[in-house]
């Protein structure tokens, strides 16, 4: 069986939902994972923020506005009177719940319950739409099988067992519809797989049922060689290895949640990226096969903090790095890039929630410099560090102020740390020269 995931834009309008229907209605049994309609999760996050800031009235106004939008969508999606009425009743229950939430005291748990509503709405609506169109489908509630453990990792044994149980109950359906993104945590509270997490839901399900293939349907024709939001003349890449895709997703290619390939890599389950607006386009196939060497794609990750830790005692002192790393470990903060010299180590983090506490401890053993608003630019390709053209990189970047460089940590990745204000210029320059749109 295949698992097909459709993102926010793909279910973001009645027209697009009709496109999704025609893509999935091919007579094959499948599991379909849906995101919330585009914009909804952002709205729900804002509602939670308003509650956090004590702006109850503003939160309630936003809930009311969002509800109006859903009522309009339901009317144009469902002409069948009974289905229309049923979905309207569901929508009104969800918004009554959201209204109740605005009177609660803010907590992370409250926020998680609020943001979960987007996927619950989209799947309920879409399943009813399929019913109206005579397509055999069943809703599989993600909260009945999707669960993360205390380390926020998917609990795969539990997921396998529970998913098989719910699949058995709805055995006759042709198409199973489920929610992306949402899950339970180890205390049975509603949680989620972080923003963009529906991709991750799809590959977790893919691993749990040993799917033939996982397809991620979105609003672009696959993984491009550079970030199309900032760079002109990008093009889709037809094949990527799991390693290459994992590096790109981790280092900022928004098309994939950072963890997307993790669950399926060991079982060699291919992941295909496809465009809902242009289903005929090839897209990108992510698999175990590695193709040609050299730089294939560039991604960038913002919001990086660089910390330079300098100590006279680092000179020939055993255990200095261990002490440094232990501080980060204590504060559950992972490190992305590292460079060292005889007397200093520079490293980067993307989660600065515990920065103050980390700095206070580092301060006891070293002199520290902190630079915020940095970006990691990551160049990815099979055996990129060995490729004959890679030297060009240093020529191209003569004018860019590089704060750190990581070369050789993996054969498939070269990472540069730059100031975020130089990002667009750097990405465009790399694109023009490395992909030979302009020659040196
Ligand atoms: P969905 O809602 O379907 O999950 P996303 O917005 O999460 O879609 O991801 C698709 C978007 O990712 C594209 O519209 C594009 O703007 C952005 N993107 C960023 N980097 C890349 C890249 N390297 N290749 C393709 N798309 C990218
Ligand atoms: N709806 C969630 C988000 O916007 C999950 C997703 O779309 O993948 O982050
Ligand atoms: Mg996404």
Would you say 66 and 40 are in contact if contact means Cβ atoms under 8 Å apart?
yes
262 Cβ below 6 A of ligand 1: no
Instruction: Give residue 198 CA to ligand 1 midpoint distance, Å.
Output: 13
Instruction: Give residue 255 CA to ligand 1 midpoint distance, Å.
Output: 3
Given this model, what pLDDT does residue 171 score?
82
119 Cβ below 6 A of ligand 1: no
Given this model, what pLDDT does residue 439 score?
58
Instruction: Give residue 421 CA to ligand 1 midpoint distance, Å.
Output: 21
Would you say 440 and 394 are in contact if contact means Cβ atoms under 8 Å apart?
no
pTM recorded for the entire structure: 0.93
Please name which ligand lies nearest the alpha carbon of 276: 1
12 Cβ below 6 A of ligand 1: no
**Which atom belonging to ligand 1 lies closest to the Cα atom of 7?**
3
Q: Which CATH class is domain 2-219?
A: alpha beta
Instruction: Give residue 8 CA to ligand 2 midpoint distance, Å.
Output: 7
Q: Which CATH number fits domain 297-434: 3.30.470.20, 3.30.2320.80, 3.20.20.70, 3.30.2130.10?
A: 3.30.2130.10
**Which atom belonging to ligand 1 lies closest to the Cα atom of 257?**
7
pLDDT in tens, 64-76: 999 999 999 999 9
- Please report where in the chains the tokens 């009974």 appear, as a residue: 82
Specify the residue with its C-alpha closest to ligand 2, atom 5: 196
**Where are the CATH 3.40.1160.10 domain residues in the chain?**
2-219
Segments of the chain with pLDDT less than 50: none
Given this model, what pLDDT does residue 340 score?
87
Given this model, what pLDDT does residue 261 score?
97
Given this model, what pLDDT does residue 291 score?
75
Given this model, what pLDDT does residue 136 score?
94
How many whole angstroms separate alpha carbon 386 and alpha carbon 325? Answer: 30
* Dihedral sign, Cα of residue 95, residue 182, residue 144, residue 4: positive
Given this model, what pLDDT does residue 8 score?
98
Would you say 274 and 19 are in contact if contact means Cβ atoms under 8 Å apart?
no
Q: In this structure, what token pair is assigned to residue 394?
A: 């240093």
Instruction: Give residue 149 CA to ligand 3 midpoint distance, Å.
Output: 23
**Where are the CATH 3.30.2130.10 domain residues in the chain?**
297-434
How many whole angstroms separate alpha carbon 85 and alpha carbon 79? Answer: 10
Given this model, what pLDDT does residue 221 score?
97
**Which atom belonging to ligand 1 lies closest to the Cα atom of 222?**
25
Task: Say which residues have a Cβ less than 8 Å from residue 6's Cβ, sequence separation at least 6.
Answer: 20, 32, 33, 34, 35, 217, 218, 276
Would you say 77 and 37 are in contact if contact means Cβ atoms under 8 Å apart?
no
């Amino acid at each position: 069986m295949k698992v097909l995931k459709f993102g926010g834009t793909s279910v973001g309008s009645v027209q697009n939902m009709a496109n999704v229907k025609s893509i999935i209605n091919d007579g094959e049994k499948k599991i379909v994972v849906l995101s919330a309609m585009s914009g909804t999760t952002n709205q729900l996050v804002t509602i939670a923020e308003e509650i956090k800031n004590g702006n109850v009235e503003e939160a309630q106004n936003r809930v009311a506005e969002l509800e109006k939008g859903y009522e309009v969508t339901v009317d144009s999606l469902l002409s069948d009177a009974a289905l229309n009425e049923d979905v309207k009743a569901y929508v009104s229950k969800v918004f009554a719940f959201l209204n109740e939430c605005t009177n609660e005291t803010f907590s992370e748990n409250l926020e998680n319950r609020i943001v979960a509503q987007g996927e619950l709405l989209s799947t309920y609506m879409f399943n009813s739409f399929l019913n109206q169109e005579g397509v055999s489908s069943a809703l599989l509630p993600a909260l009945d099988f999707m669960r993360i453990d205390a380390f926020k990792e998917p609990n795969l044994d539990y997921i396998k067992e529970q998913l098989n149980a719910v699949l058995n109950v709805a055995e006759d359906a042709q198409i199973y519809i489920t929610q992306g993104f949402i899950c339970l945590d180890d205390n049975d509270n509603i949680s989620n797989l972080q923003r963009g997490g529906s991709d991750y839901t799809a590959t977790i399900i893919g691993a749990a049922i040993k799917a033939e293939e996982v397809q991620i349907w979105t609003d672009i024709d696959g993984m491009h060689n550079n970030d199309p939001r900032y760079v002109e003349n990008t093009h889709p890449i037809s094949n990527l290895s799991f390693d290459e895709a994992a590096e790109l997703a981790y280092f900022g290619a928004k098309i994939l949640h950072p963890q997307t390939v993790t669950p399926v890599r060991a079982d060699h389950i291919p992941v295909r990226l496809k465009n809902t607006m242009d289903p005929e386009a090839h897209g990108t196939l992510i698999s175990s096969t590695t193709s040609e060497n050299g730089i294939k794609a560039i991604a960038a990750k913002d919001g990086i903090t660089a910390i330079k830790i300098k100590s006279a005692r680092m000179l020939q002192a055993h255990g200095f790095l261990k002490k440094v790393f232990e501080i980060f470990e204590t504060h559950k903060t992972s490190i992305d890039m590292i460079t060292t010299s005889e007397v200093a180590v520079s490293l980067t983090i993307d989660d600065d929630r515990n920065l103050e506490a980390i700095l206070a401890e580092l301060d006891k053993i070293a002199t520290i410099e902190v630079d915020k608003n940095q970006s990691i630019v990551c160049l990815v390709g099979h055996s990129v560090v060995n490729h004959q053209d890679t030297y060009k990189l240093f020529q191209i970047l003569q004018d860019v102020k590089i704060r750190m460089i990581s070369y050789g940590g993996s054969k498939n990745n070269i990472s540069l740390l730059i100031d975020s204000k130089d990002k667009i210029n750097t990405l465009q320059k790399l694109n023009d020269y490395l992909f030979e749109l302009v020659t040196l």
